[in-house]
Amino acid sequence: MESHTFPHPELLDAALARLIPAQQVILTEFRPLPSFRRNAWHVIFRDRSDKSRSTLSLLALLVPRTLEYSTPTTSYAIATSAGLPTPTIRSVAEGPENVLFLCSLPSGTALTEVLRECDAPWQISAAAVSLARFLVQLHRTPSSALGIEATAERTAERDRSRIATLREVIRDAPDSLRGTLEGILDWIDDQLHVSAPLVPTLGHFPLTTVFVESGEVSCAFGWEQLALRPAAADFAGLLFELAPFDSAVRALFLSVVQASYLQAGGSTLADAPARALLDIVERTLIAWTARASHAFSGGPRDPLGVVRTLESAHRAARSGLAAMAYL
C-alpha cells in the first residue's frame, strides 16, 4: 500500500497489516486532526479482497515512548483492564521511539463541542458534572491495579525542578520583576508542599480528547501520561483548556466541576490554584524572554506589563481556581 507521506509509514503499514493481510490494504485517505490532538489522523482504507468496496475508518495516534517506567501500550492496556473509559484499540505497531495506535472512532461528543453547543447554564453544569464523575473514577482507581507506584517520586522531583528552573531564569531579571516572581514562587512552593495524597492522574489533558455520551465520559485519551500526582494536577490544566470560552462559562464550569468532585468524595484540591499559577508563570516568562531576546540589544526590557499580569494572577489564585477564570 502507499503510505509514503505519513510521518512514520513503516508503523502505519505494520498496524494495518495486523488488521488485514499484507498486500490487501488500500489506503484511500488520511488527514491530520490538529483540533483533536497532536499527531492524530483520521485514516480511511479498504480491504482489496472485499468485493463490496466498503471502507473502514479509524483514528491513528502516534505516541512517543518517553516514559521511563512504562510504555504507551502498557498504559492504555492497564487503564482498559481497570475499567476506565479508554478507546477501543484495533491494532498497535511499536517502533524504537514511537507507538502507533489504530483506534475505533470514539462514541459520544468531545467535551469542547458539548460546551460550544450549550445554550443555558444548566448545560454547562451538566458537562462539568460528567467530567467530575470521570475524575472521581480515575482518582479512586488503586495505583496497584495500574502499576504506577514508581511514578510518585518522579512527580515530586518534577515539581521541585520546575520551581528551581524558574528561580534560575529570574536571577538576572530586572529588580521589579525578580521581586514579584520570588514572592509568587515562594507562595507556590508553600502550597505545593501541602501533604496531598497522590492518586492516578492524566495531568494536563485536552478536553478535545474527552468524549461524553448520555451524561457520562464514554472515552478519554492521553493514558500515556498516567502517573501518580496530586488530584489537583488534573484540575489545574482546565484553566487553559477553557481559554476559548468566555469568562462566565469558564468560571461556572470550574466551580461546578470542583464542587461535584469534592461532593462525590474526591481528593483534596487545595493546591490546584498554585499549580495553575505555576503554569501561568512559566508561559508568561517564556513569552517575555522571547520578546526580550528579539528586542534591540541597547534598549530597555520593560517588565511592568509582566509584573502586572503576574500580580493579577497571584491575587486570583489566592481566591481559588474559579476566580482565575476571569484573568
Least trusted range by pLDDT, from 70-74, 296-300, 315-319: 296-300
d(CA 39, CA 61): 6
| Residue 293: per-residue pLDDT | 57
* Domain definitions of the chain by residue range: 9-103, 109-326
Per-residue pLDDT, 1: 44
At 160-192, the pLDDT tens digits run: 899 999 999 888 888 888 999 999 999 999 998
pLDDT of residue 22: 63
CB-based contact 222:311 (threshold 8 Å): no
Query: What is the CATH T-level fold of the domain 109-326, as seen in this structure?
Result: Aminoglycoside 3'-phosphotransferase; Chain: A, domain 2 (3.90.1200)
Return the C-alpha torsion angle 182, 188, 190, 191, nearest 10: 170
User: pLDDT above 70 covers what percent of the chain?
Assistant: 92
- Of residues 109 and 150, more confidence is placed in 109
Which of these, 244, 306, 253, 254, lies nearest to 280 by C-alpha position? 306
CA-to-CA dists, residue 301 to 24, 48, 199, angstroms = 62, 63, 42
* 56-107 pLDDT tens trace: 899 999 999 876 667 899 999 999 999 999 999 999 999 999 999 999 999 9
Q: Which three cell numbers stand for residue 117?
A: 453547543
| Predicted pLDDT at 302 | 59
The answer to whether the beta carbons of residues 110 and 207 sit under 8 Å apart is yes
3-state secondary structure the chain: CCCCCCCCHHHHHHHHHHHCCCCCEEEEEEEECCCCCCCEEEEEEEECCCCCCCEEEEEEEEEECCCCCCCHHHHHHHHHHCCCCCCCEEEEEECCCEEEEEECCCCCEEHHHHHHCCCCHHHHHHHHHHHHHHHHHHHHCCHHHHCCCCHHHHHHHHHHHHHHHHHHHHHHCCHHHHHHHHHHHHHHHHHHCCCCCEEEECCCCCHHHEEEECCEEEEECCHHHCEEEECCHHHHCHHHHCCCCCHHHHHHHHHHHHHHHHHCCCCCCCCHHHHHHHHHHHHHHHHHHHHHHHCCCCCCCCCHHHHHHHHHHHHHHHHCCHHHHHC
- Domain 9-103 identical in fold to domain 109-326: no
Report residue 162 as a C-alpha cell: 520546575
pLDDT at 299: 41
Burial of 81 (0-12, 13-18, 19+ CB in 10 A): exposed
Whether 64 and 37 have beta carbons less than 8 Å apart is answered as no
CA 250 to the chain's CA centroid: 17
Between 68 and 212, the higher pLDDT residue: 212
Environment class of 95 (CB within 10 Å of its CB; exposed 0-12, middle 13-18, buried 19+): middle
CATH code for the structural domain at 9-103:
3.30.200
Predicted TM-score (pTM) of this structure: 0.90
Given a cut of 60, is residue 2 above it in pLDDT? no
